[in-house]
Amino acid sequence: MEPALIIEWVIKSAILLLFGVTGFAYLTLYERRALARIQVRIGPNRAGPFGILQPVADGIKLIFNQELIPATADKVLFVLAPIITVLPALIIWAVIPWGRQVIIGGREINLYLSNANVGVLYLTAVASIAVYGIVIAGWSSNNKYALLGGLRSSAQMVSYELALGISFIGPIMLAGSMSLVDIVEAQSKVWYIVPQFLAFLIFMMAGLAEINRAPFDMPEAEQELTAGYHAEYSGMKFALFFMAEYIKMIAIAAIGVTLFLGGYRIPFIDIPPAIEPLVFFIKILILLFVIIWVRATFPRFRYDRLMAFGWKILLPLSLANVFITAVILVFRG
Amino acid sequence: MAFPERARVQELFKGLWITFKSMFEKPVTIQYPEVKRPVTPRFRGRHVLNRFENGLEKCIGCSLCAAACPADAIFVESAENSDDERFSPGERYASTYEINMLRCIFCGYCEDACPTEAITLEDNYELSFTNRYDAIYTKERLLVSVPQNGKPTPQEVEPGKFDRSVPVMEDPTD
């Protein structure tokens, strides 16, 4: 392997990680401002113009927070849990394409880290690792609320992962490939949200459950479990959980855009490759707004209803969707 | 659990539409330090000690406010007036007047007890301090500033003019 390629990959990874971390910081601000507008408030606007320094202030505050490890906690796992949670959220970005190629200094650079031919499989595999972090956090805290939060989260994630994974199959069948780049290129005429609208709905609902967002934020349910699995965490360890949650939110939005909303492409128009990441970014922002909007609107599910909804409605629906798609594809040849 | 009927799914989208609409309403937020909401006419904020138009203090040091205070927040010590060094009309004035704002419950009983309308609860509610001693408001901090035509106390006055300690008063207007 030529050394230039390694340097290229390192630079691209660094940019992606930087995007993830700053994206997390500014997503908190975006969410707070959007929620405030929906609740007819203004939101944070004191730190810097329009509050753009608010994430910096929050970050500094968290860094200087006292780190507390409960005396009865399992110390190794307690420290390990936030790391296990945040890593999958970051490495999930490896297969998501931001554009085709740009030519910088006579060198063709792919705007994705890897065009894995099992990209979608990688997504589902990596997304499931995060549940370990949450369960370990809940268990190692040696706190009842945290344990309950961790258990709820494992049950919820296992239930909704199935529907999430099966909702991916629609686009895979239409594109005839598991590579995310191929799936995006196959959407150059029509976005998959049109032929696969049901799959998109299932994906959004299961995705929200997978990243523990309202109305499926059962693991942290403030009113019942104080803070759920991260009740005992403080300082930067808490910030890591927070970061994982928000980066996963961006990742789910990015996956939704890639699989159902045409990724970096606009239908019928051939845009220059340099602005493709921008198109992708704007689409992510719109989908993130939908996630925030849903949070502002719906109350939390009751726990048994959440499980019933996942197993008795979402799973059969997604299976039916796969079946119908397959039948139509076979009959159309 | 049955499959949700169409009506229930419609309710979900109705809810989304309501929250979306509310985004375009005018925010109800009041940007506090810059914009302040007016207080009601009989608002009970920080106390002040009032003066007559000529600058003499209304407080005659009778300690009725301290007696009325259910929180025991007021401390008054009085001293004799003379025509050469006159602080207030009548025989006596408050040489020390302290209110501990950490004890005060802003009930307004002191205002009711006062025979001369010397102490009143005004509109100021921004009573923050970083030190317990700053919470004790002394007479200097409670007294209003000298009115335009008045003179600061102690005043030298002509003898026999200010021998009535309780002024003629009217019913409150607000």
- 3-class DSSP state of B47: strand
- The structure's pTM equals 0.78
Average pLDDT, chain B: 87
Identify the CA nearest to B33 among candidates B125, B134, B129.
B125
Each domain of chain A, given as residue ranges in start order, spans 67-332
Contact A39 B22 (CB under 8 A): yes
Closest residue of chain B to A317, computed from CA coordinates: B3
Give pLDDT tens digits for A32-56.
888 888 888 888 888 888 888 888 8
Tokens of B43: 């608002």
Contact A313 B28 (CB under 8 A): no
Report ipTM (2 d.p.). Answer: 0.73
Number of domains making up chain B: 1
Contact A42 B29 (CB under 8 A): yes
Identify all chain A residues contacting B20, using CB atoms and an 8 Å cutoff.
Answer: 38, 293
Q: Smallest CA–CA separation between B5 and chain A, in Å?
A: 13
- Any residues with CB less than 8 A from the CB of A321 and at least 6 apart, and which? A166, A167, A170, A196, A198, A199, A202
Report whether B129 contacts B135 (CB < 8 A). Answer: yes
Identify all chain B residues contacting A39, using CB atoms and an 8 Å cutoff.
Answer: 22
Torsion over CA: B156, B161, B167, B169 (sign): negative
How far is A178 from A247, CA to CA, in rounded Å? Answer: 23
- 3-class DSSP state of A112: coil
CB contact B34 to A (< 8 Å): no
CB contact A46 to B (< 8 Å): no
Identify all chain B residues contacting A35, using CB atoms and an 8 Å cutoff.
Answer: none
Q: How confident is the model at residue A236 (pLDDT cuts 50, 70, 90)?
A: confident
For position B121, which CATH number holds? 3.30.70.3270
In angstroms, how far is CA B56 from the centroid of its own chain?
Answer: 20
User: CB count, 10 Å around CB of B53?
Assistant: 9
Partner-chain residue, chosen from A41, A293, A312, that has the shortest CB–CB distance to B16: A293
Give pLDDT tens digits for A158-203.
888 888 888 888 888 888 888 888 888 788 777 888 788 888 888 8
Q: Smallest CA–CA separation between A260 and chain B, in Å?
A: 21
Give a yes or no: residue B125 inside a domain.
Answer: yes
Give a yes or no: residue B36 inside a domain.
Answer: no
Contact B15 A39 (CB under 8 A): no
Give a yes or no: residue B137 inside a domain.
Answer: yes
Range of the domain at B103: 47-142
Contact A293 B3 (CB under 8 A): no
Contact A296 B19 (CB under 8 A): yes
Give pLDDT tens digits for A245-286.
888 888 889 888 888 888 777 777 777 777 888 888 888 899
Instruction: Find the length of chain B.
Output: 174
Report whether A325 contacts A171 (CB < 8 A). Answer: no
- 3-class DSSP state of A43: coil
What is the pLDDT, as a whole number, of residue A219? Answer: 66
